[in-house]
Structure 1
Amino acid sequence: MQVTKKIRRKPNIRITQSDHARLSALANTVAGRTPEASDELLAELERARIVADGWVSAGAVRMGSTVTFKPDTSDPKTVTLVFPGDADISEGKVSILTPIGTALIGLSAGQSIMWTARDGRRHELLVLEVGQPPPEVDVADRRAPAPSTIAAG
């Protein structure tokens, strides 16, 4: 009897035009220093449906979103998705260049995704809730950090 392995498709994701542009530039900038992180982010950006700024649903994870998710290995966690220079795990700020940060971008509440940790193990997470940044700190109004200020997350 042949054993078939079920391959799960990644969920559909939506990313705003401005996030897509900034994240593409970021991934290309760090490609020489952190090629794995760059490749993962570029792969997610390539499969994303790009929507006009303001047209992504309030429930979709974008840069600056606060996300509550349930990992397969522990209790629910709440983090804010940020650019590498703003990352601070003690404050719950997770870099887009981390495996979990890349996995979260574009997801909506109720969606789950399989992702690979830096140690090579596969995990699954389920997005429970997504909160958007207040307008005054909305990252759509910020420019991507200059390449000299980007630190790998």
Structure 2
Amino acid sequence: MNTQDYNDLTPEIIVGEADHKQLNILAMAGLTHTPDQSDDLLYELERARILSDAEVPRDIVRMGSSVHYRTDNGQEHMVTLVYPVDADIATGRISIMTPVGTALIGLRVGQSISWRSRDNRKHMLTVLAVKQPVVAE
């Protein structure tokens, strides 16, 4: 991988109205328990372009999406973005309240974003594919 500087890579993100509402509630509730991660999520939600749920393109990472991404060190991962109560790293279900989960929300295929891990190291990831969950009608 090249040595490009990705210190402030913050692409436009899109979030559906329902996810935006629920994630704001989650982040506000977490301010007393996980203030840094809650602040990071609130920042992402604040800068997001909000669309009606029906208008969100299918290649956008939403809650429940399965995401294939590559990190700056070349590793590829497949995860599903979930609420904290449903998180299980052993099965690839990562919480929105993790640095990677917060970084992924609202990205579309081909976009890259920089983020800080819990040990405050700077990283970058690129979304390679997004699969939306099957919704029961």
Shorter-chain TM-score category?
over 0.9
Change (3 A) 1:134 1:119: same
| Amino acid corresponding to residue 112 of structure 1 in structure 2 | S
How far 1:8 moved relative to its partner?
Answer: 3.5
Q: Report the CA distance between 1:71 and its aligned residue.
A: 0.6
1:34 Cα deviation from its structure 2 partner = 0.5
- Measured in 2, the distance between the counterparts of 1:129 and 1:38 equals 26
Residue aligning to 1:82? 82
Mark the runs of 5 or more structure 2 residues left unpaired by the alignment. Answer: none
TM-score by length of structure 1 reads 0.83
Report SS of the residue matched to 1:119.
Answer: coil
% identical aligned pairs: 49
Which residue in 2 is equivalent to 1:100? Answer: 100
Match of 2:10? 10
Deviations 1:71-124 (A, max 9, x none): 112421000000000000000000000000000000000000000000000000
Structure 1 outlier segments of 4+, above 3 Å: 5-9
How many residues align? The count is 133
The structure that has the greater radius of gyration is 1
Mind listing any 5+ residue stretches in structure 1 that lack a counterpart?
139-153
Counterpart of 2:32 in structure 1 is 32
The aligned residue for residue 48 of structure 1 is 48
What amino acid does structure 2 have at the position aligned with 1:8?
D
Residue 65 of structure 1 pairs with residue 65 of structure 2: yes
What letter corresponds to residue 116 of structure 2 in structure 1?
T
1:53 Cα deviation after fit: 1.0
